[in-house]
């Protein structure tokens, strides 16, 4: 019998602050590829600090493995900081778009009521199709997908997760502390 307790596999969200330079996405994904860990979603955007980008990466793995990944990411030259969060430590959302044939709306109010009751909204109305937008967690956007499928859903796309931590840490204060320390080894616990 294995004496080590098997670690629970669950979702983790990484927030990686980097200098705004080309080629970083490749460096980051290599860290996951070498460990055969799948990236479930990836979002990159500017942060509130000029010249600093934020990568939001969602993956499903064990705590030990995510800690190893974060440690490796922090070693990358243009990475300013990397933080790992569980779902209860962040506020997060995804956005989904659904393309439904316009004729689905003509045959009564059921699709329109479904959209309204799901907290979604009609984004675009075209002659042949209507685009619906839903913001929420992946379970919510997937639930609407399943409900729209019988109406002849033409296309579906869901974004990667966007997230902010529940901590009071300010990115700008973190970056200033990083500059003062001349190191990329500051911890989120420092802020």
pLDDT at 1 over 60: no
Tell me the pLDDT of the chain averaged across its residues: 88
Average pLDDT over residues 165-169: 83
- The answer to whether 132 touches 148, Cβ cutoff 8 Å, is yes
Q: How confident is the model at residue 177 (pLDDT cuts 50, 70, 90)?
A: confident
Domains 10-89+164-184 and 91-162 share a fold: yes
Res 191: pLDDT: 36
Res 182: pLDDT: 58
Q: How confident is the model at residue 82 (pLDDT cuts 50, 70, 90)?
A: very high
Alpha-carbon gap, residue 123 to 52, rounded angstroms: 31
Class of domain 91-162: alpha beta
pLDDT at 186 over 70: no
pTM: 0.81
pLDDT at 173 over 80: no
Domain ranges of the chain: 10-89+164-184, 91-162
Candidates 3.30.70.1560, 1.10.3720.10, 3.30.70.260, 3.40.50.720; correct CATH number of 10-89+164-184? 3.30.70.260
Q: Which residues pair with 42 in a beta bridge?
A: 57
Alpha-carbon gap, residue 62 to 117, rounded angstroms: 36
Average pLDDT over residues 3-12: 77
Contacts 24+ apart (CB under 8 A), 181-187: 184/74, 184/79, 184/80, 184/81, 185/74, 186/81
Res 76: pLDDT: 93
């Amino acid at each position: 019998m294995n004496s080590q307790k098997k670690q629970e596999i669950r979702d983790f969200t990484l927030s990686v602050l980097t200098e705004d330079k080309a080629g970083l996405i490749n460096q980051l994904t290599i860290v996951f590829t070498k460990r055969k860990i799948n990236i479930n979603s990836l979002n990159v955007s500017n942060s509130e600090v000029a010249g600093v980008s934020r990568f939001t990466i969602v993956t499903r793995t064990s705590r030990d493995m995510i800690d190893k990944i974060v440690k490796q990411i922090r070693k990358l030259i243009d990475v300013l900081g990397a933080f790992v969060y569980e779902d209860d430590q962040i506020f997060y959302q995804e956005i989904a778009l659904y393309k439904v044939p316009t004729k689905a709306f003509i045959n009564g109010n059921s699709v329109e009521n479904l959209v309204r009751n799901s907290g979604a909204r009609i984004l675009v109305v075209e002659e042949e199709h209507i685009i619906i937008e839903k913001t929420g967690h992946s379970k919510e956007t997937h639930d609407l997908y399943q409900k729209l499928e019988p109406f002849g859903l033409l296309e579906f796309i869901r974004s990667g997760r966007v997230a902010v931590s529940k901590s009071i840490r300010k990115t700008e204060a973190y970056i200033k502390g990083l500059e003062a320390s001349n190191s990329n080894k500051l911890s989120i616990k420092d802020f």
